[in-house]
Structure 1
Amino acid sequence: MSLQFATDTNALPLYIIEKDALGDFLNSLPVMQRVWVETSGFTGAAGSVVVLPGEGGAPAGAIVGYGSVATRARGRFHVAAVVTKLPEASWKIATDLPQDDLEEAALGWLLATYRYDRYASQSAPKARLVTPDRIDGARIEAIAAGEALTRDLINTPASDMGPQELEEATQNLANQHGATLAVTRGDDLHAANLPMIHTVGRASDRAPRLLDMSWGDSGPQLVLVGKGVCFDTGGLNLKPGGSMGLMKKDMGGSAATLGLAHMIMALRLKLRLRVLIPAVENSVSANAFRPQDILTSRKGLTVEINNTDAEGRLVLADALTLADEENPDLIISMATLTGAARVAVGPDLVPFYTDSNATAASLAQSADRVRDPLWRMPFHDPYEAMIEPGIADLDNAPKGGFAGSITAALFLRRFVSDDQPYIHFDMYGWQPSAAPARPKGGVGQATRAVLDALPDLLGLE
Structure 2
Amino acid sequence: MTHGFATESERDTKPVPLVPLTADGLAAWREQASPRDRRWQESAGFAAKAGEVLVLPGEDGGLERCLFGMQPEGCLYQLASVQDRLPPVTYVLECDWSEEQQAQACLGWGLGAYRYERYRRDESPRPNLYLDPSLRERVTRLCAAQSLVRDLVNTPTEHLGPEQLADAAVSEADRFDAHSRVIVGDELLSEDFPAVHAVGRAASRAPRLIELDWGDEDAPLLALVGKGVCFDTGGLDLKNASGMALMKKDMGGAAHALALAQLVMAHALPVRLKLLIPAVENSVSGNAYRPGDVIATRKGLSVEIGNTDAEGRVVLSDALALACESRPDLVIDFATLTGAARVALGTDLPALFSNRDEVSSGIQQAGTDCEDPLWTLPLYAPYNELIKSPIADITNNAKTGFGGAITAALFLQRFVEPGIPWVHIDTYAWNSGNRAGRPEGGEALGLRAVFHYLRQRYS
TM-score (norm 2): 0.96
Q: Which amino acid aligns with 1:358?
A: E
Structure 1 residue 136, shift from structure 2 partner: 3.0
For residues 233-272 of structure 1, the aligned pairs below 5 Å read: 233-272=233-272
Q: 2: distance between equivalents of 1:81 and 1:394?
A: 48
Contact 1:238 1:309 in 2 (8 A): yes
For residues 312-391 of structure 1, the aligned pairs below 5 Å read: 312-391=312-391
In the TM superposition, what whole-angstrom CA distance separates every residue of 1:346-377 from its partner, at most 9, and x where no partner exists?
A: 11001100122211221122101111111011
Q: Which residue in the other structure is 2:309 paired with?
A: 309
For residues 138-287 of structure 1, the aligned pairs below 5 Å read: 138-217=137-216, 218-287=218-287
Contact 1:336 1:426 in 2 (8 A): yes
SS at match of 2:269: coil
For residues 404-443 of structure 1, the aligned pairs below 5 Å read: 404-443=404-443
Contact 1:301 1:393 in 2 (8 A): yes
Structure 1 67/299 Cα, relative in aligned 2: closer, same or farther at 3 Å?
closer
Q: 2: distance between equivalents of 1:387 and 1:439?
A: 38
What is the identity percentage for the equivalent residue pairs of Structure 1 and Structure 2?
44
Q: Which residue in the other structure is 2:109 paired with?
A: 109
Q: 2: distance between equivalents of 1:399 and 1:76?
A: 42
Q: 2: distance between equivalents of 1:456 and 1:53?
A: 45
Structure 1 96/343 Cα, relative in aligned 2: closer, same or farther at 3 Å?
same
Structure 1 portions without partners, runs of 5+? none
For residues 114-125 of structure 1, the aligned pairs below 5 Å read: 114-123=114-123
Which is worse superposed, 258-267 or 331-340? 258-267
Q: Which residue in the other structure is 2:48 paired with?
A: 44
Q: Which amino acid aligns with 2:120?
A: A
Q: 2: distance between equivalents of 1:188 and 1:251?
A: 22
Q: Which amino acid aligns with 2:244?
A: M
Q: Which residue in the other structure is 2:31 paired with?
A: 27
Q: 1: distance between equivalents of 2:389 and 2:371?
A: 40
Q: 2: distance between equivalents of 1:62 and 1:136?
A: 21
Contact 2:149 2:259 in 1 (8 A): yes
SS at match of 1:225: strand
Contact 1:100 1:369 in 2 (8 A): no
Runs of 4+ in 1 over 4 A off after TM superposition: none
Structure 1 residue 456, shift from structure 2 partner: 3.1
Structure 1 residue 302, shift from structure 2 partner: 0.9
Which is worse superposed, 447-456 or 325-334? 447-456
What is the total number of aligned residue pairs between the two structures? 454
Structure 1 residue 28, shift from structure 2 partner: 1.7
Superposed CA RMSD in Å reads 1.5
TM-score (norm 1): 0.95
For residues 9-24 of structure 1, the aligned pairs below 5 Å read: 9=12, 10-24=14-28
Structure 1 20/67 Cα, relative in aligned 2: closer, same or farther at 3 Å?
farther
Structure 1 residue 125, shift from structure 2 partner: 5.7
Q: 1: distance between equivalents of 2:434 and 2:100?
A: 23
Structure 1 residue 47, shift from structure 2 partner: 2.3
Q: Which amino acid aligns with 2:28?
A: D
Structure 2 portions without partners, runs of 5+? none
Q: 2: distance between equivalents of 1:452 and 1:392?
A: 40
Q: Which residue in the other structure is 1:63 paired with?
A: 67
